[in-house]
Amino acid sequence: MVSRDGELPIRKTGTTTVGIICSDGVVLAAEKKSTMGYMVASKEAKKIVPIDTHIAITIAGFEGDAQALVRYMRAELKLFAIENKRKVTVRGAATLLANILHSGRWTFLPYMVQLIVAGYDDKPRIFTLDALGSLEEEEKFFSTGSGSPMALGVLESSYEEGIGIEEGKALAISAIKAAVERDIASGGRAIDVAVITEKGIEISRHEV
């Protein structure tokens, strides 16, 4: 749908998301504000989304694009499990998503998202993807969205090798709070925190 001035209407998520590799799992965190231009569209947006029992995605970018990708990935991973009698690896899921994103560059508009794909197979893993399908595995941590420069500053100064889950959760929350303080597009009523271990995914809400 095109507006009268010829521009595409945009719904985007002004966002800060964080992913941290811990000794026994992955910690993801995200604030909950969603913006539409200069208007706050939601204070309760969900930006951490499981796509399998051992893999989750954090979302930064256009909300509609992200929702379509989540539906696509959930269907593809279910088909993979049925056909192969096993769950896909985290790298396999991230590679599939990278291929989907890359294919979008030949259409009218690519998927306007920046994503973290995180999970646990033989160890905790974090992959980051941009709108054109660039794929990188992160060994320590990463942050996406408009508040990521502030969050990365906290992570760079405080992250330690072998950090445990509880320490990782505290660090992730601190990084998100730092971004919320300085990034006008990040905020909301709470911070969502997901812990992914060999036992699965647990998501909790932390009031701010």
**Distance in Å from the first CA to the final CA of the chain:** 37
- Whether 69 and 100 have beta carbons less than 8 Å apart is answered as yes
- Whether 119 and 52 have beta carbons less than 8 Å apart is answered as yes
Q: Is 15 a catalytic residue?
A: yes
Supply 106's token pair: 């030949």
- Whether 23 and 164 have beta carbons less than 8 Å apart is answered as yes
The rounded Cα 145 to chain-centroid distance in angstroms is 9
Choose, from 13, 15, 35, 58, the residue flagged as catalytic. 15
Active-site positions read 15
